Structure 1
Amino acid sequence: MPTALITGASSGIGKAFAQKLAAHNTNLVLVARSEEKLNQLAKKLQEKYKIQVDTLVKDLTETGATHDIFDAVQAKGLTIDLLINNAGFAEYGDFAEKDEERQIKIVQLNILALVDLTHKFLQGMRQRRSGSIINVSSLTAFQPMPYLSVYAASKAFIVSFSQALWAENRHYNVRILVICPGPVETGFFTEANFPPALAAKTNKISTCEQVVRESLQALERGDSMVVIGGMTTHLITKLSPFVPRKILLNILEKQFKTKTV
């Protein structure tokens, strides 16, 4: 029976991945900060699907967290067949006026933890000539985003990093996929401190279940990247490279600026 490790597994897309994989007879290692939510989810999935679910309560922005996760997996004698780097967060607002530590934590979680976990588990996959990694990026990866500057830049990194790894590892029978969802029905806007009026203008196109379904289909096809969402989402990814950068930035700055900024 295969085993998947999912970060940010207690809610949103991570939780949806856990539910879908459990239904397909996959053992799970669930990582998140919320012990209560993790335990509730683990108990539910174990009882319903009769699988093994291990939980690791970790804040991936803390020093040594990725090492602790890898060591815990090794100590349990588990082989990770699928790694899903889903954990991440954003902070809305003018970069110069936002809390410095929180901006750094975005980089630590969205980039550093993802790179470290990928490196740790990828080596075993290459040796076994088997395994898959899904890295969760975003529609924001395709253009700079005023008032989401660090978050969007971190997601652009994930796209570039993941596609390079796809090319490096396909000869080892290891699949690497980066997924780029548009707006999803999660608590993203609340957690990122979006002004309610601005968040209300954003069409929530995809459900978490849709993101998971299309991601696993793309992984099965051997794709390096999949964009998930409606027509508008796909148009943004196609048109943004052809719009002069100055014009694009002016449009985005006006769109995302509010009276609170």
Structure 2
Amino acid sequence: MGTALVTGASAGLGEEFAWQLATAKHDLVLVARDEARLEALAVRLRAAAGVHVEVLPADLSVREDVARVAARLEADERPVGLLVNNAGYTVHERFTRSDLDAQDALLDVMVRSVQALSHAAARTMKDRGRGAILNVSSVAAHTVSGTYSAAKAWVLTFTEGLAVELEGTGVTATALCPGLTRTEFHERAGFTRLGPGWFWLDRADVVRVALADVRRGAVVSVPSVRYRVATTVARHLPREAMRALTKRAGL
């Protein structure tokens, strides 16, 4: 079934991608900073699904580590047919109060590494005539909540442009735009005031929809009707109204 490389694979959506891809009999390359956690996940995946699982520890804010992951994407042995650029986090602090190095690291992980790994994957997959790239954006791409939403907006626009460039090559590019999803992400970021319970998505559903959309070649994947409606409204709102809503929500 081919090999999939997943960044940010040690928790949250990345871990869920690993499980669903393993269940579908894809071999895996797991990328994250926490080597011990990756190794423990790899043991469970091998035992449960019987697939080949590689562990590739990397800090995607470090250029040398990104280069090592890019080299794996370009390797001929166990070629990667699906890249999932999932790694990400947020700095839960106002931009003007935060440390600029922290903001730079966020952009390194969520923008620069996505660009570098997509570049390596797209060029290699084009030469092979097949493959898929899934970049995790967010419904936050349509809001104005600081560096995080700016990074996710970049991922969305970048992926749409990449999809246009790859059309007809046998390689696809998809941007996943989930809304609030039950993972460790928000707890780690220190968020305490978020939407009502019915607005939250289950991570298994998000990943299931994303992989189905990749298979059909969709350029943008927005799991759930409520978030498809929300993003449609956000796209058509005047930017002044979006700024006012963001301020009111305290984002």
Which TM bucket (shorter chain)? over 0.9
- Per-residue CA deviations over 1:149-178 (Å, capped at 9, x if unaligned) read 000000000110101111111210101111
Aligned-partner SS, 1:60? coil
Amino acid at match of 1:193: G
Residue in structure 1 matching 2:214, options 201, 204, 219: 219
What is aligned with 1:81?
A: 81
What is aligned with 2:104?
A: 104
- Per-residue CA deviations over 1:48-92 (Å, capped at 9, x if unaligned) read 211110001111001211111233566682311000000011112
Shift of 1:213: 0.5
Equivalences for residues 1-261 of structure 1 within 5 A? 1-72=1-72, 77-145=77-145, 149-194=146-191, 196=192, 198-199=193-194, 205-231=200-226, 233-256=227-250
User: Do the aligned partners of 1:189 and 1:199 also contact (CA within 8 Å) in 2?
Assistant: no
| Mapped partners of 1:121, 1:241: distance in 2 | 30
Structure 1 runs (4+) deviating above 4 angstroms are 72-76, 200-204
Q: What are structure 1's unaligned runs of at least 5 residues?
A: none
Report sequence identity in percent: 30
| Mapped partners of 2:173, 2:58: distance in 1 | 24
Shift of 1:238: 1.1
User: Do the aligned partners of 2:8 and 2:87 also contact (CA within 8 Å) in 1?
Assistant: yes
Query: CA 1:213/1:94 → structure 2, altered by over 3 Å: closer, same or farther?
Result: same
TM-score normalised by the chain length of structure 1:
0.91
Query: CA 1:202/1:99 → structure 2, altered by over 3 Å: closer, same or farther?
Result: farther
TM-score normalised by the chain length of structure 2:
0.94
Shift of 1:204: 5.1
| Mapped partners of 1:218, 1:200: distance in 2 | 26
Aligned-partner SS, 2:167? helix
Aligned-partner SS, 1:171? coil
Query: CA 1:87/1:116 → structure 2, altered by over 3 Å: closer, same or farther?
Result: same
- Per-residue CA deviations over 1:203-257 (Å, capped at 9, x if unaligned) read 55211111110011111221100111341x2222111233222222122112116
| Mapped partners of 1:203, 1:111: distance in 2 | 31
| Mapped partners of 1:251, 1:50: distance in 2 | 48
